[in-house]
A and B are shown apart, each in its own frame.
Chain A
């Protein structure tokens, strides 16, 4: 069912994992690349709270603990609708952080051992039972009470409202409690009460347990045989049971109608036996964390055998204490002294940022970005990202909130603009025209330029041509604009000028390939590429007709062009003057190219007309995660530049 469950750090080390297939590495890596680093995909948060990301035929759900830099990822096949994954993530997060917090704060936490298997199995089993019991049973009085409690807690704790009703509907016995120590105020429910009210519907529950436990090794029979030999196990069970407060309720399950329920319990005992071994092994290599963990998750019984504390109880206690702690801090915040000290800290620094603190500066920041011509939704989303990053952080000494936000915004802008790989056009051309491998045949490098009407496609094409000519390439320009009157003549004028220039400076060669008006642009482009290959041209620049990105008919013909001409580089020209529309343009052009091809870059033209309001670049890149390749800064052939990220960031922040 669950293919992979991994707990990893932001620095890239997997702390604990459980997997039944090999999909883990590639799926998790692509999640990190697409969602966390490139922010290419923005997974919508599902109703139950955790965002889901699709990789091939798998779905990944994840949750974060920001202050410790932990990521929890669950991978399962998209075909299965596992409703309990959200709950599992929440619970595992709470338990893992609570159990290993001391260990995680150590410097060398990455290589320490995390014997987490038993917790995970326990949790899986619990969730399974509650799921099956939920389907079979009608809720009892006890459940009703707990519902009330949870409602009250929700009032005081204040978790995000849309999540709560959902949870209650799905898991009536879950008690949502606010997880105080992680900075997200997402409710983490504890499944403590699911067990007592669940007389196990023996066979079904048992089978389920088997299914979801991917790591259950060895046959059950063998384990059973082992149990008959060791009597320790049963006594351990008794000790455990007597320790738990909900004794009567527990019996209900153990004394189930058939033998299968008993067996499930037996397995539980087996864990405690394994536990002592596992922890003993861990103790050899890392004694310091052992001392911490042993107290917190278990006790020794009379026989000196290590017994797992009831996790449900433990978790509830922890969460309750965290909750009361939170309420107290809230109370102190409202007193006069608290208010004054809060005000003081506003000036002096050392204040822990909350959502309320950030509201006003973020609004100002958003305003600033929009003034810089950043499209509205891009600005909003950047601000959301900054907010998510800053909530829970402490301001430095004598640092106001505004100054604390500034570097965060800068980093976020820089990250958006920085391309993921080198954008060296000459190098790419070199790789295609003079390939190093023995098998590859040299062929012309094809560049296609797209864009809305009047943004400067032909002008930028001729600038690009001039740049290539200076590097001694033989360039062919294909007049693909067979629609607008005068388009071919315009290119002819450019080619004449460029020929003049190249002849004077003794550089490369340039020619035009034209077939007049009214022809199909895709065919012209294809013929031009064939002509270039035959006549030893190294680069083909294909001009296209300008088209409104909302005109579906014209946009559809782009796909054909891409199919026939097979361009190595597709650039969209976008002007720096447009505001909100830029996002729509970029998205539609990217979509129009078909499934197999993506836009490779933008040429942002007319940047000299906007001063420091270069926000269009941010909107474009943010909407499509396609980098800015070139910038047009003037009317001359030489006025083509590459983007300098620090320059752009200073412009935007000024």
Chain B
């Protein structure tokens, strides 16, 4: 064994043995295809779970809704959400959509289709986010970039929107404005080339069980009017420090820089972001029924 001996395997390796050449040739041919095969199957294996993002100001009932849905996925009759406090961290929960809720992908199936009979509950993920002002951009709005995102549920507290103190309304509208702007940016952005799925928004007007709660129509009106105000004052406001002056103004204004007043319909026409307002209550006697409507909306997105 050693370099000096002509019979050692090392010497043979370098001496141009046809067997060695063949082996090297095989490796060169096979390696790329093997690597490709490996990575291809790997990426296919990590299947994207449909994800929903739960946004909304603090105290609107996001965490309550999540706990209620979580309880309902194990027991559909459960109507009592857990006791909750202010959240500090986002929280992804795997939930089951009841089999009775129709799915969006089955829209064109006949009602008597056999495949609908033995349907399993659909699994999806809901990300609950903290609604506190300091944590919004960091922990909540950053989740919009999630590739599996199928929809955004924006929970509002319908019982305080109508109060004479407009700070709640302003806060809610400001947050909704930021959310829609983030969605719009993602839609028009250049970077995200291939995956431009439609991300619909559900405005869940929560706390309909309370006496002061606004009906859904009024919630829609107020939010639209207030977002228009936010939009106007943002467009007039000071530029931020360190900003490049040549950024496209068109992209930075919600609903484009058009003359029209802001409305949810405008968002749908211009950017394909459909916005629905559905009212319900997480707590109270009618909880199950109302949350069912939200579940149907979720089903429509799957």
Inter-chain contact count A-B, CB under 8 Å? 147
By beta carbon, the residue of chain A nearest B240 is A644
| B residues near A38, Cβ cutoff 8 Å | 132, 134
Contact of B233 among A17, A33, A430, A651 (CB under 8 A): A430
Which of B68-76, B190-198, B259-267 binds A? Answer: B68-76
Contact of B138 among A6, A414, A470, A642 (CB under 8 A): A414
| A residues near B9, Cβ cutoff 8 Å | none
Query: How far, in angstroms, from A631 to B82 measured CA to CA in the complex?
Result: 44
* Contact of A418 with B82 at beta-carbon distance under 8 Å, contacts A10-B87, A107-B94 already known: no
Asked if A421 is at the interface (CB within 8 A of a chain B CB), the reply is yes
The answer to whether A29 touches B229, judged by C-beta atoms less than 8 angstroms apart, is no
| B residues near A398, Cβ cutoff 8 Å | none
Q: Nearest Cβ distance between residue B157 and chain A, in whole angstroms?
A: 14
Query: How far, in angstroms, from A651 to B230 measured CA to CA in the complex?
Result: 29
The answer to whether A642 touches B171, judged by C-beta atoms less than 8 angstroms apart, is no
| A residues near B67, Cβ cutoff 8 Å | 13, 110-111
The answer to whether B174 touches A422, judged by C-beta atoms less than 8 angstroms apart, is yes
The answer to whether B84 touches A12, judged by C-beta atoms less than 8 angstroms apart, is yes
Asked if A411 is at the interface (CB within 8 A of a chain B CB), the reply is yes
Kindly supply a per-residue 1/0 record for chain A positions 5-40, scoring 1 wherever the CB is within 8 Å of any chain B CB and 0 otherwise: 010101111100100000001001100110011100
| B residues near A631, Cβ cutoff 8 Å | 241
| A residues near B84, Cβ cutoff 8 Å | 12-14
The answer to whether A424 touches B93, judged by C-beta atoms less than 8 angstroms apart, is no
Query: How far, in angstroms, from A534 to B91 measured CA to CA in the complex?
Result: 53
Query: How far, in angstroms, from A111 to B91 measured CA to CA in the complex?
Result: 13
Asked if B85 is at the interface (CB within 8 A of a chain A CB), the reply is yes
The answer to whether A427 touches B229, judged by C-beta atoms less than 8 angstroms apart, is yes
By beta carbon, the residue of chain A nearest B165 is A437
Kindly identify, within residues 151 to 165 of chain B, every residue whose CB is under 8 Å from any CB belonging to chain A. Answer: 164
| B residues near A13, Cβ cutoff 8 Å | 63, 67, 82-85
The answer to whether A633 touches B241, judged by C-beta atoms less than 8 angstroms apart, is yes
The answer to whether A11 touches B87, judged by C-beta atoms less than 8 angstroms apart, is yes
| A residues near B130, Cβ cutoff 8 Å | 12, 37
Contact of B82 among A14, A471, A651 (CB under 8 A): A14
Q: Nearest Cβ distance between residue B110 and chain A, in whole angstroms?
A: 35
Asked if B20 is at the interface (CB within 8 A of a chain A CB), the reply is no
Asked if B212 is at the interface (CB within 8 A of a chain A CB), the reply is no
Asked if B170 is at the interface (CB within 8 A of a chain A CB), the reply is yes
Asked if A415 is at the interface (CB within 8 A of a chain B CB), the reply is yes
Query: How far, in angstroms, from A1 to B277 measured CA to CA in the complex?
Result: 46
The answer to whether A607 touches B134, judged by C-beta atoms less than 8 angstroms apart, is no
By beta carbon, the residue of chain B nearest A647 is B242
The answer to whether A110 touches B164, judged by C-beta atoms less than 8 angstroms apart, is no
The answer to whether B241 touches A641, judged by C-beta atoms less than 8 angstroms apart, is yes
Asked if B107 is at the interface (CB within 8 A of a chain A CB), the reply is no
Query: How far, in angstroms, from A645 to B137 measured CA to CA in the complex?
Result: 10
Query: How far, in angstroms, from A409 to B183 measured CA to CA in the complex?
Result: 28
Kindly identify, within residues 240 to 263 of chain B, every residue whose CB is under 8 Å from any CB belonging to chain A. Answer: 240-243
By beta carbon, the residue of chain A nearest B236 is A471
The answer to whether B86 touches A12, judged by C-beta atoms less than 8 angstroms apart, is yes
| A residues near B75, Cβ cutoff 8 Å | 285
The answer to whether A640 touches B63, judged by C-beta atoms less than 8 angstroms apart, is no
Q: Nearest Cβ distance between residue B195 and chain A, in whole angstroms?
A: 24
| B residues near A426, Cβ cutoff 8 Å | 233, 236-237
15 A-B pairs within 8 Å (CB atoms) are namely A10-B89, A11-B90, A12-B63, A12-B84, A14-B82, A32-B86, A33-B132, A37-B134, A37-B135, A111-B74, A424-B174, A427-B170, A431-B166, A641-B240, A642-B239
Which residues from chain A sit less than 8 Å from chain B, CB to CB?
6, 8, 10-14, 17, 25, 28-29, 32-33, 36-38, 69, 107-108, 110-111, 285, 411, 414-415, 418-422, 424-427, 430-431, 435-437, 439-440, 467, 470-471, 607, 630-631, 633, 640-645, 647-648, 651
The 8 A-B residue pairs with the shortest CB-CB distance in the complex, in nearest-first order: A12-B87, A11-B91, A647-B242, A644-B240, A426-B233, A420-B133, A641-B241, A14-B83
